[in-house]
Amino acid sequence: MSEETLSFQTEVAQLLRLMVNSVYSDKEVFLRELISNASDACDKARYLAITEPEILGDDPDFKVRIKVDKEARTLSLSDNGVGMNRDGLISDLGTIARSGTTAFMENMSGDSAKDMQMIGQFGVGFYSLFMVADKVEVTSRQAGEDETWIWTSDGLGEFTIDEAETAGRGTTVLIHLKEGEDEWLEEHRLQAVLKKYSDHIALPITLAIDDGEETAANEASAIWSRPKSEITDEQYAEFYHHVGHAMDDPWLTLHYKAEGKIEYTSLLFVPTRQPLDLFDPARRHAVKLYVRRIFITDEAEGLIPSYLRFLRGIVDSEDLPLNISREMLQNSPLMRHMNQAVTRRVLTELSKKADKQPEEYAEFWENFGSVLKEGLYEDHERRDELLELVRFRSTAGSELVSLKDYVGRMKEGQEAVYYITGDDLQTLETSPQLEGFRARGVEVLLLSDPVDDFWLSSVFEYDGHALTSTTRGATDLSNLGEEPKADDGPEAEPAGETEIATLIALVKQTLGDAIKDVRTTDRLTESAVCLVADDGDMDMRLERMLKAHKQLSTDSVRILEINPKHALIKNMAGAATKGGAADDLADLAHLLLDQARIIEGEALPDPAAFSRRMATVMAKATQ
């Protein structure tokens, strides 16, 4: 086959120019990316060889070789890993930033530290080579195949694919250095970078200068198999960067060896920032499974619960068989035991952080709290532990609050833990359903994560106190104290019982099936009306979410609550009792319902009718 010229996916030239200009001070990352890719390729080949030993042929020992040719001004890195065929080269190297080229470029800022973190997030690490190279050649043969291919590009928008020759499987990346990049030909500079980025990698890496003797560039031992006392924070951080394909530093590091019923070693990290795939609908974890330091899979279903999918790292088992299949993994009692033990350890460490370093835990919660809360409806066994870790915003202030804190400062006579759910904190803080609670100094938890509506459907109490929505059911706040009197005048008196009863009857008759009931409430102090769900009905926010995702097609009919102390309600009650204009009162009744819908963030069923009624009322008010 003759040489073929192809184009990159899109926007490559612009992307590469942005990378070169924005990440200028961190060029050494290109070597780190090459080493990580080579290590992953060897891990994959080692795993394939468990069931297909013939793919290793006469080259069973995995290694990475780095060579420098000062005269040609080239730097090459070779591995004998799984390799790539023609389609793999085009797919993996010809498609820039599968996780979002445009998003990557939109977020490039010129801030070196920030942009370096983004390289790992957006999957464009390989292209960091073009910070130092004006031409890159990738020669590769996939394990088990006879054909070798070479991919060549100058990073300006096109690449070529052609047949080539190699002695065996694996990949060689040949970098033709730009002018002014001679530091990458110097042994001391390369040794320093390799020591920094490759000591944690469990395969030998060698360096040779101008066909000289190959010298070891790393310790070639799995970092998790070493004693903790011999590992520095910097080495932990570099392994996290490698295994998590991340650029931030770990927020928490857990390194321990479990012995007993099953033996395994865990080296796990909680990131400082949200991984890009955190809210991927697949909800897969990213912890790699090893068996006696041999990579098995990074998709070991059941190893880590989905609500801990922010974890990065490895679990290395001494007891699982090397040739374990995916089906065996899913049904293995040893896997279930590791899952339980690892989860217990992670939750314990998070609990320690929450108790001893609440400010740091608050940062963790802002990033991963909405994910951790998924465990409240998925993991019944650990629900009590998770409830102690959950944090909330509340009407008491800007600080996060735990359920334990909330219960500890409940008012005398208060029996329930009150909460309200909604789309965002600002809307919740101004919700009319909170007015009566605020007036009596009762704290209400503000829940704005979509997951809140789901776990609340399965968690009904905490420490003997019912979790109670402020937007559902009737309220009786009399046991929480009286509403304080206003300082700037006499307290507003409610409309008379007869007048209110007449108004309620009129509103019910006018609105008909659009409402389930009309009643007075003490949950309102400033607003005239609000909508609430009946005791047995679905929460209003959950219903909106299910409808938006086409999981629900019908609308529940809500209860309209009115504030008998509000001037508008009193005026309407008086007019209804005296036989006021029926059309005017009917328009006001419809406007009250639409006002309550707007406050709840619901769409008006008939915006045109709302507009006409509003114009009529305004016209009469200005006569």
pLDDT digits (tens, 9 = 90+) for 131-188: 899 999 999 999 999 999 999 998 777 889 999 988 889 999 999 999 999 999 999 9
Q: Are 75 and 135 in contact (CB under 8 A)?
A: no
Query: Residue 480: what pLDDT?
Result: 78
Q: What is the C-alpha to C-alpha distance for residues 244 and 237, in angstroms, rounded to an integer?
A: 10
Asked if pLDDT for residue 124 goes beyond 80, the answer is: no
Please tell us whether the domain made up of 224-358 is placed in CATH 3.30.470.10: no
| For residue 337, pLDDT beyond 50 | yes
pLDDT band at 376 (very low <50, low <70, confident <90, very high): very high
Written as one letter, the residue type at 617 is V
Structure confidence at residue 327 as a pLDDT band (50, 70, 90): low
- Averaged pLDDT of the chain: 85
Q: Which amino acid is residue 84, in one-letter code?
A: M
Residues 38-67 pLDDT 10s: 888 898 898 888 888 899 988 889 999 999
- Percent of the chain whose predicted confidence (pLDDT) is above 70: 87
| Residue-wise pLDDT tens digits, 556-605 | 789 999 999 999 999 999 988 888 678 889 999 999 999 999 988 888 98
| Residue type (1 letter), 387 | L
Render pLDDT for 58-101 as a digit per residue (tens, 0 to 9). Answer: 888 999 999 999 999 999 999 999 999 998 888 777 655 443 33
Both tokens of 346, joined, read 């992670």
The one-character DSSP state at 64 is E
- Give the gyration radius of the chain's Cα atoms: 32
pLDDT in tens, 480-517: 776 666 555 555 677 788 999 999 999 999 999 999 99
User: Does residue 23 register a pLDDT over 80?
Assistant: no
Question: Is-contact 561 554, C-beta < 8 A?
Answer: no
Question: Per CATH, which fold does 4-220 belong to?
Answer: Heat Shock Protein 90 (3.30.565)
Q: Which pLDDT band holds residue 218 (cuts at 50, 70, 90)? A: confident
pLDDT band at 112 (very low <50, low <70, confident <90, very high): very low
Q: What is the pLDDT of residue 100?
A: 37
Closest CA to 539 of 451, 598, 453: 453
The pLDDT value recorded for residue 106 is: 52
Contacts of 375 (CB under 8 A, 6+ apart): 305, 307, 308, 382, 383, 386
pLDDT at 145: 92
Q: Which residues contact 167 (CB under 8 A, 6 or more apart)?
A: none
The whole-number pLDDT of residue 155 equals 79
The edge-to-edge listing of strands for the beta sheet with 445-447 is 397-401, 392-394, 445-447, 417-421, 465-469, 461-462
pLDDT at 1 over 80: no
Torsion sign, CA atoms 57, 58, 64, 68: negative
The domain made up of 497-534+552-621 is a member of CATH 1.10.3720.10 = no
Residue 113 clears pLDDT 50, i.e. is over it: no
Residue whose tokens read 């899952």: 339
Q: State residue 487's pLDDT score.
A: 54
Determine which of 23-27, 359-363, 528-532, 571-575 has the lowest per-residue pLDDT on average: 23-27
Distance, CA of 569 to CA of 328 (rounded, Å)? 67
Name residues whose C-beta falls within 8 Å of residue 236's C-beta, 6 or more positions apart in sequence.
223, 250, 253, 255, 269
Q: Which has the higher per-residue pLDDT, 266 or 127?
A: 266
Per-residue pLDDT of 416-437, as tens digits, reads: 999 999 888 988 998 999 999 9
Q: Which pLDDT tens digit goes with each residue over 246-264?
A: 889 999 999 999 988 889 9
pTM of the full structure: 0.73
Q: Is the model's pLDDT at 18 over the cut of 80?
A: no
**31 or 494: which leads in pLDDT:** 31
From the centroid of its chain, how far is CA 355? Answer: 24
Query: Where are the domains positioned within the chain?
Result: 4-220, 224-358, 497-534+552-621
Pairwise CA distance, residues 119 & 602, whole Å:
40
Q: Of 268-282, 526-540, 572-586, which one has max mean pLDDT?
A: 268-282
**pLDDT (0 to 100) of residue 299:** 77
